[in-house]
Structure 1
Amino acid sequence: MPVSRGRKPKKNKTTKRTEKPQVVEPAALPDWMPEAIENVLSEAGGLLKAQNPRDLEEMTASLLGAELHRALQGDNDGLDFDLFFEAVVLAAANAEPRQELWLLLQGMSAIAPPGFESFVRASVSRLRKALRPEVLPEWPRLAAKIKATGDVWELQDVYGTRLGVLATFSYPGDAATTVYVFEVDISWIPRLVGGGVYDSLDQAAEAWRNHFGGTAAPEPVTDPDRLEGLVSRSLDILGDESRVILDNWYRAERRYLALDTALKNRGLRLPPGSSYYTGIDPTVMTVPFKAWHLETFGNEPDDLVVEELAAEWMEGIVPATWFAVSPDRLGHIRALIGDWSDDPVRPAAQALLPTWARWLGERAGLPSTLVEAMVAGATK
């Protein structure tokens, strides 16, 4: 099997995920955090406008997401977002007691990363005791009790490299459900690219189609293996995360875990995460490609070039989508091949890529206009 010449995933700037909250010393915080923490606490007054658990969760996620996005836009080190979450909780719990800080902690309890839930709940309890409990509303306590129903649907874009997972959630005592959408890019290493809460399945599906195109209707998921590539969120910060991703940085993982629990209760399991960098057999793609090439052009391409192109193409992506082709996926592979510095195979692989794109596009039954556009893009 050929040795891949490819580039591995870009390393992040974060530290290893904290298994549980640690004692945070202010002097040990990265330079960007104190101001970001102060921003969250000073703007928490906006949470007083929340009317229900959904409002509170949405506002809290946005409040934190704004500071994550601001930190990412600057030239900052120490982008440890779990540490930031912990530091905000401690700051809110230790500040002068105010109702908006209690609401902030209630909202954070609804989106707390794994291992942080009891830590946030304890801070909520301490702050509640310091306030006048009899004047505090009861509904914010429901925010952290949201659960997935176990009903889930999927959508894919026309190329098959964008995945929409639509799952229903509900609060205790509320007959109404909402739909959370996980927007996942599986054109290369699976990444969360968006998320959001909607009133209904139709509304959620329409929003997804407006973003990614197509007219497909959501398909109920009865086999969780269909959702391979679904990720709660990437723990790697690549530096190009949008505001939408960062607004969902904590919440998506919490919703993912709730969905996993609901499916387990039905005797089902979400596919485990995988690096997709081991056990790759390029012949899975090289054999049918060479057969198509022989039938189409009357000759077979160079074995080494095809093997190297196939190995690079298959590395890091969900195996079920190996035969999917899209402009984004082609963009990734072009960049990867471009990293084959001083490699004699590189020019031949670059020259073969448009033919590879045509084969995959035709094999997938994509409209000819999309196929020709991808071929043209791969030729550049």
Structure 2
Amino acid sequence: MSPVSRNRKKKAKKPGKRVFPKGALEALVPPRPNWFSAATATALAGSDALVAARGPLELEEATSLLLGERLVERTRVEGATGLRFTAWAREVADRAAEQVLAHSEDLSTGAWKGPWRLLHGMLSIGAPELASAAESAIERCAGELGAAGGVPSWLAVLGGVAPTGELWSLRDAHGTRGAVIAGYAYPDGVDRSVFLFDYDVTDFAVELPAPGAFPDVAAAEAAWRTSTGEQTVPLVEGVSPEVLAIVLAGGTVLLDSVIGVETDQALRNWYRAQRRAQDLIALVRDRGVHLPAPLPVEQQAARMAEEFTTWHHTRHGATPDDETVETLALDWVEKTAEGTHALVSPRRVECVRESIQADRDAGVPTMLAELSLLPEWAGWLAERAGLAEELVREVRIA
């Protein structure tokens, strides 16, 4: 045997072809929900009304409502599971393109105009996945339409809506209900508007009860005050990174996750709120603004427990039971949204109390001790947040 042959390494065996059991891959893909067909047909039938839009913002609003109403209908009928809103919207884009192509041989009928407008409207309200589907559908149809008459030039800018960088904020007296108002415009400053991110962190999730587009900040502020009843706290120019983190990272609408508590207004703006938020996130990153990252639950709870114990000893001259404080702190952190653990209101205290009671059998000593300490905990948070004395009292007796 030659030295070369003796030292040559054996070739590694090629891995065999991986074989999946029959039906295994199909099982990974959720089945197409039954509601898709009827909702798609209704959306396409309603697209004819979009032809009346006179500019980008009007088409954006009409498209958001047309698709959003279908989400309202299905959520109220189907419940909050397995809805797959993004998958449905992609299907709408595909079917709209099919209708445009089907009518492209005789453009004089105008039957293609509604679906064509719908695709462009979806460009303006769709987050990347949906906007990409709409853009692909438009590209499929463009060659067949050619230089069709009756197509306004402003349709070409629908995908270019972007934040202007203008930001304002509002909050109620407790801080658990607030709003971020952000400016947006189409290219060259066309159709300037603002988008209202109305947030509520009373319960365990960040909810966006009444998001929507408005012609200016005054209209958005008026809508928020009407919705919340808050008339005294002033509008502030600018938004803190902490508040931006709450709105942009936590909203159920923004996570494309339905939990069943969404308002009709939130569902009507489901796609648009996601798009506007993601555009705002991109702007914030481009400007180098750092959004604070949340601490791990256990670390956040331990920090709050230590601070509360120190406050309690200073205020009352006595140290509360360590186990009770630790349990309460962990419950509070787990039952409130990330980035909002320091906020407190009477309704939030009620929500946490109800959740603690639901988690434990009545009469368990730990639960009773925890609930007896909750008013002190709430009062500490209220004082820590600098709330007025009457608000501190409201929180303590909630």
Aligned to 1:104: 118
- CA gap of 1:319–1:261, structure 2 versus 1, over 3 A, is closer
Where relative contact order (Cα < 8 A, 6+ residues apart) is larger, the structure is 1
1:199 aligns with 2:211: no
Q: Aligned to 1:37, which of 32, 35, 40?
A: 40
Q: Normalising to structure 1: TM-score of the pair?
A: 0.82
Q: Aligned to 1:352, which of 373, 382, 387?
A: 373
Structure with greater helix share of residues: 2
Aligned to 2:64: 61
- CA gap of 1:261–1:340, structure 2 versus 1, over 3 A, is closer
Return the alpha-carbon distance in structure 2 between the equivalents of residues 177 and 344 of structure 1.
Answer: 58
Aligned to 1:181: 196
Query: What displacement does 1:175 show?
Result: 5.5
Letter in 1 for 2:232: T
For 1:42-64, what per-residue CA distance to the aligned partner results, in whole angstroms no more than 9, with x for missing partners? Answer: 11122122111111111111111
- CA gap of 1:365–1:268, structure 2 versus 1, over 3 A, is closer
Letter in 2 for 1:375: R
Greater Cα offset, 74-83 or 33-42: 74-83
1:331 aligns with 2:319: no
Aligned to 1:247: 268
Query: What displacement does 1:358 show?
Result: 2.6
Segments of structure 2 that go 5 or more residues without pairing to the other structure are 1-29, 104-111
Tell me, yes or no, if the aligned pair for 1:228 and 1:318 is still in contact at 8 Å: no
Letter in 2 for 1:82: T
Q: Aligned to 2:82, which of 78, 98, 108?
A: 78
Aligned to 2:278: 257
Greater Cα offset, 185-194 or 98-107: 185-194
Aligned length: 349
SS at match of 1:287: helix
Tell me, yes or no, if the aligned pair for 1:109 and 1:120 is still in contact at 8 Å: yes
Return the alpha-carbon distance in structure 1 between the equivalents of residues 382 and 214 of structure 2.
Answer: 33
Tell me, yes or no, if the aligned pair for 1:184 and 1:192 is still in contact at 8 Å: yes
Return the alpha-carbon distance in structure 2 between the equivalents of residues 176 and 216 of structure 1.
Answer: 29
Return the alpha-carbon distance in structure 1 between the equivalents of residues 128 and 341 of structure 2.
Answer: 32
Query: What displacement does 1:260 show?
Result: 2.2
1:266 aligns with 2:283: no
SS at match of 2:365: coil
- CA gap of 1:264–1:319, structure 2 versus 1, over 3 A, is closer
Query: What displacement does 1:223 show?
Result: 5.5
Query: What displacement does 1:265 show?
Result: 3.2
Segments of structure 1 that go 5 or more residues without pairing to the other structure are 1-26
Tell me, yes or no, if the aligned pair for 1:57 and 1:111 is still in contact at 8 Å: yes
- CA gap of 1:271–1:109, structure 2 versus 1, over 3 A, is farther
1:322 aligns with 2:337: no
- CA gap of 1:373–1:223, structure 2 versus 1, over 3 A, is closer
Aligned to 1:133: 148
Greater Cα offset, 33-42 or 214-223: 214-223
Tell me, yes or no, if the aligned pair for 1:286 and 1:307 is still in contact at 8 Å: yes
Larger CA Rg, structure 1 vs 2:
2
- CA gap of 1:89–1:103, structure 2 versus 1, over 3 A, is same
For 1:269-310, what per-residue CA distance to the aligned partner results, in whole angstroms no more than 9, with x for missing partners? Answer: 5556x6x65352434323343344345444332221111111
Return the alpha-carbon distance in structure 2 between the equivalents of residues 251 and 270 of structure 1.
Answer: 22
Aligned to 2:235: 218
Query: What displacement does 1:116 show?
Result: 3.2
Identity among equivalent positions (%) equals 32
- CA gap of 1:282–1:240, structure 2 versus 1, over 3 A, is closer
Return the alpha-carbon distance in structure 1 between the equivalents of residues 219 and 124 of structure 2.
Answer: 23
Letter in 1 for 2:152: P
Aligned to 2:135: 121
Tell me, yes or no, if the aligned pair for 1:109 and 1:121 is still in contact at 8 Å: yes
RMSD between aligned residues: 2.7
Return the alpha-carbon distance in structure 2 between the equivalents of residues 193 and 37 of structure 1.
Answer: 25
